Amino acid sequence: MLTLLCTLPDTLWVSGAFVKIAPDGEVAGYFYIKPGNRTVLRVVRPVNQILYMVPETLIIYYPDHRKLFKIRSRHRFLEGGMASFTVEEENLIRAGFMFVKEGKRGDTLLKTYTHPNLKTTVDIETVNGYLVNLYARSSDGEMKVEFKGIREIYPGYAFPDTVSTTFLTGSRSSTEKFVYYSVSVKPDSLVPDYVKRPSFPEDVEVIYRGWD
């Protein structure tokens, strides 16, 4: 996952509302991002669900059912926030990718990275330092991500209004789209406690995935 080149002061969060549109239906809710630290999604439709994304761990909590999933992975969950709209290429290198080439097409800078073990190639396109397109190709298929409506919401920090992801596997393709609304930067004092300091009932059922 690419992370943000210009981060925010530690006392600030990015927040707003979102709708995810996918072939299997729509999901709506609110998001809170502390870049490089965590992303929290509060889903209100179609289920009551809270997702905490921190490096290497995804926590999914269902308050109505008092059930909590902890999923661990070698991949760092949304390290820079919920999708990343400027490019910190060190994160690709840290993940084992190697720089291959770069070129220019008008105002667009194109760079290619490859991962020898995963047999995956990633092409990134940036304009004025902001990521506008990402293409990933492997033996499993292809993925294309488009970032639209990018605007600066804090000095050096930009956010899109739409992110569309298309997956190609063989002759099959599917597209999902995130649409963001009312995006702004907020201080700690205006962010809910459940976002800043997650806590769960003592009788909650905890289910682990990915632990040895």
Question: Which CATH number covers residue 88?
Answer: 2.50.20.10
Confidence of residue 113 (pLDDT cuts 50, 70, 90): very high
What was the pLDDT predicted at 7?
62
In percent, the amount of the chain with pLDDT more than 90 equals 58
Is the predicted pLDDT of residue 180 greater than 90, yes or no? yes
Please state the domain count of the chain.
Answer: 1
Say what percent of the chain tops pLDDT 70: 87
| Predicted pLDDT of residue 165 | 92
What pLDDT does residue 66 have? 94
Establish if 2 belongs to a structural domain.
no
Does residue 174 belong to any structural domain of this protein?
Answer: yes
pLDDT at 159 over 80: yes
Tell me the pLDDT of the chain averaged across its residues.
Answer: 85
Mean pLDDT of 27-46: 91
Q: Around Cβ 99, how many Cβ atoms within 10 Å? A: 12
Question: What's the predicted TM-score (pTM) here?
Answer: 0.81
Summarize the confidence of residues 87-93 as an average pLDDT: 66
In a domain, 194, yes or no: yes
Which domain range does residue 159 map to?
12-209
Does residue 179 contact residue 161 with C-beta atoms inside 8 Å?
A: yes
pLDDT at 2 exceeding the cut of 80: no
User: How far is 145 from 133, CA to CA, in rounded Å?
Assistant: 6
